[in-house]
Amino acid sequence: MLLLVSCRSAKLSDARAQYIRGEYFVASETYRKVYRNIKPDQHPLRGVVAYEMAEAYRRMNVASRSANAYANAIRYKYPDTLVYLRYAQMLHKEGRYLQAQKAYEDFLALDPVNLLGISGLQGVKDAVEKKKTPSRYVVKRMDLFNSNRGEFSPAFAKDDAVLYITSSREDARGDSISNITGMKNNDIFIVTRNDKGGWMKPEILESEINTRFDEGTPSVSADGNYLFYTFSPVYSHRATTPKIYCSRRGSGSWNAGQELIVSAGDTLSVFAHPSVSPSGDYLYFVSDMPGGYGGKDIWRARMDGLIVLFTENLGPEVNTPGDEMFPYIKNDTTLYFSSDGHPGMGGLDLYEASLYGSTNRWRVQHMDFPLNSSMDDFGITFEKGKLRGFFSSNRNDARGHDHIYSFECPDVEIFVEGLAVDTEDNFIPNVKVSVVGDNGFRHEYITGQDGTYRFRADKGVNYLFMARAEGFLNRKKTLSTFVEEKDTVYFVDFEMIPYNRPVILENIFFDFDKAELRPESKKELDGLIGLLNDNPSVTIELSAHTDRKGAEGYNQDLSLRRAQSVVRYLIGKGVDERRLSAAGFGKTQPKTVS
């Protein structure tokens, strides 16, 4: 019995040593063997080993195995309440939102002020709604770029004609299998375009950058002369931390990289995931060095060439008690990064941060589904001036391998549709509809046999419409389009009024036995003024009528005075009096006004 315990203890100590060195793959294998050899009635030991095995799987991004192991740790009464948070996070990552919500609630019942628990619960509630209302982004897996291993962190260079990626595919340098991932170490690969602008298959970067160790997450300076990347040496029986390296282009190829000293004397902290700003003034990176807000934080270094002048943490708007990683600085005020500490859909989610004002503070916004999923989504890059590019994700891969995905936000389509009819709602073909926009747009459309016209409009434009047809008065209308978030159709219809046919103006009101216009009549008359302005050659006769009550002579005079009152109003609004005449018909041609 003592011998068996001693053997088990030795194996458990081996697993722990492997985990401490960051060898998560071999540690998970060792933990699994240890767990199988523990007797079923040894509940405390089973709980401890299950939890530590789950941590190794979590570090490997194998959410399903990690969730099962955490569940076993809970089953065997593992004493640390953190197991409930980790279990909830893995269920969240698996997209098992209802179960994750309960697990978060169980954890928060034990630790109600834990920020990661609060954020996770909010994220899992939001995720259900986000999937119901996806963004306009279209996401596609880039099979041309991907292998049966892992690919991640794409980065544009050379005016978007070149794409660098990180991959552990079979043609990566070196023959050894990583104790961290169970795959080959990562190398940097390059993807170029053909003569027609299409992408070619990735090829390993032929330079002195790639070694038998791990290289990845490249970022190329705007002038194309410097390539920053993460270098992770791996040595047996000794823990190492990633460092940022920089390669200088010389004679058409990249020279061997040299370590960029970010924090002199700090050999224990992680320095990784560099992203150089377009101006070259700042290098954004990831580190767990002192002064942060949680696990790994995003920092930036003020650069003078390749000399770091100082570093600064991006603050609590960006960084959380969780991990913030894979920064991409699109321009000097817009940053993209991934986090498992902000409310999200699960795992690492993509976020956009905008620097505003002179306060040096960031405004952070979650990037919605389908850019984000329940799994890890990270390492985004944009084509210059466009809402498209590439990112990496381990969605839809049971092994947890990362792959490259493309994304694009199609332009919002705005259309204007209209119908031309006469006063009896009959369709009018061949109506000429002239459209002028304040963006310089100018075009004439002709209605079809069904009286309709249609055209594609732009957002945020003020349009002026003029409809003209033989035998009809011109009609004018205006339209302002907005910055829409979805496809939109605006309707601009025209009721064409024929020449030489009487038109009844409704809603022209007078008090009983009076000839003065009531205020509510003026809206209708203002429409008539617009019609006259649109048809400057038209003259009109304004005819007023009364009902049959009262003497004929009196009604004749009253109707004339009412018509003259309308004429005076129109003249006062700028209508040439030579275009107007008044007639009163009293009760000889009665009209009932309601």
Fold of 142-315+368-408: Tachylectin-2; Chain A (2.115.10)
Closest to 64 in 3D by CA, of 376, 398, 345? 398
Distance CA 107, CA 99 (A): 12
Distance CA 132, CA 126 (A): 10
In this predicted structure, what is the pLDDT of residue 10?
A: 44
Q: Is it the case that residue 503 has pLDDT exceeding 80?
A: no
In this predicted structure, what is the pLDDT of residue 594?
A: 24
For CATH 3.30.1330.60, list the domain ranges present in the chain: 519-584
In this predicted structure, what is the pLDDT of residue 233?
A: 84
pLDDT band at 486 (very low <50, low <70, confident <90, very high): confident
In this predicted structure, what is the pLDDT of residue 543?
A: 64
In this predicted structure, what is the pLDDT of residue 583?
A: 61
In this predicted structure, what is the pLDDT of residue 1?
A: 33
Residue 412 · residue 432 · CB < 8 Å: no
Summarize the confidence of residues 221-233 as an average pLDDT: 94
In this predicted structure, what is the pLDDT of residue 558?
A: 72
Q: Give tens-digit pLDDT for 358-368.
A: 777 899 999 99
Question: Which tokens is 490 given?
Answer: 């605006």
Percent of the chain scored above 70 by pLDDT?
88
Question: Which tokens is 281 given?
Answer: 């003034």
Q: Give tens-digit pLDDT for 108-143.
A: 999 999 999 999 999 999 998 999 989 989 999 999
Residue 297: CA atoms inside 13 Å, Cβ hemisphere, count? Answer: 21
Distance CA 47, CA 61 (A): 21
pLDDT band at 7 (very low <50, low <70, confident <90, very high): very low
In this predicted structure, what is the pLDDT of residue 554?
A: 59
Q: Whole-prediction pTM value?
A: 0.74
Domain 2-132: CATH architecture, name and number where available: Alpha Horseshoe (1.25)
Secondary structure (DSSP) of 183-211 = SBPPEEEEEEB-TTS-B---EE--SSS--
Secondary structure (DSSP) of 510-559 = B-TT--SBPGGGHHHHHHHHHHHHH-TT--EEEEE---S-S-HHHHHHHH
Distance CA 394, CA 153 (A): 12
Query: What is the CATH code of the structural domain delimited by 414-495?
Result: 2.60.40.1120
Q: Does domain 519-584 have CATH number 3.30.1330.60?
A: yes
Q: Give tens-digit pLDDT for 47-82.
A: 999 999 999 999 988 899 999 999 999 999 999 999
Summarize the confidence of residues 416-425 as an average pLDDT: 93
Q: Give tens-digit pLDDT for 432-454.
A: 999 999 999 999 999 999 999 99
Estimate the share of the chain in helix, then strand, then coil, as percent rounded to the nearest 5. 25, 30, 45
CA distances from 450 to 33, 90, 446, 498 (A): 77, 59, 11, 18
For CATH 2.115.10.20, list the domain ranges present in the chain: 142-315+368-408
In a 3-state reduction of DSSP, which class is residue 572? helix
For CATH 2.60.40.1120, list the domain ranges present in the chain: 414-495
In this predicted structure, what is the pLDDT of residue 178?
A: 77
220 alpha carbon, distance to own chain's centre: 24
In this predicted structure, what is the pLDDT of residue 393?
A: 97
Q: Give tens-digit pLDDT for 168-182.
A: 998 888 777 777 777
pLDDT band at 588 (very low <50, low <70, confident <90, very high): very low
Summarize the confidence of residues 200-214 as an average pLDDT: 92
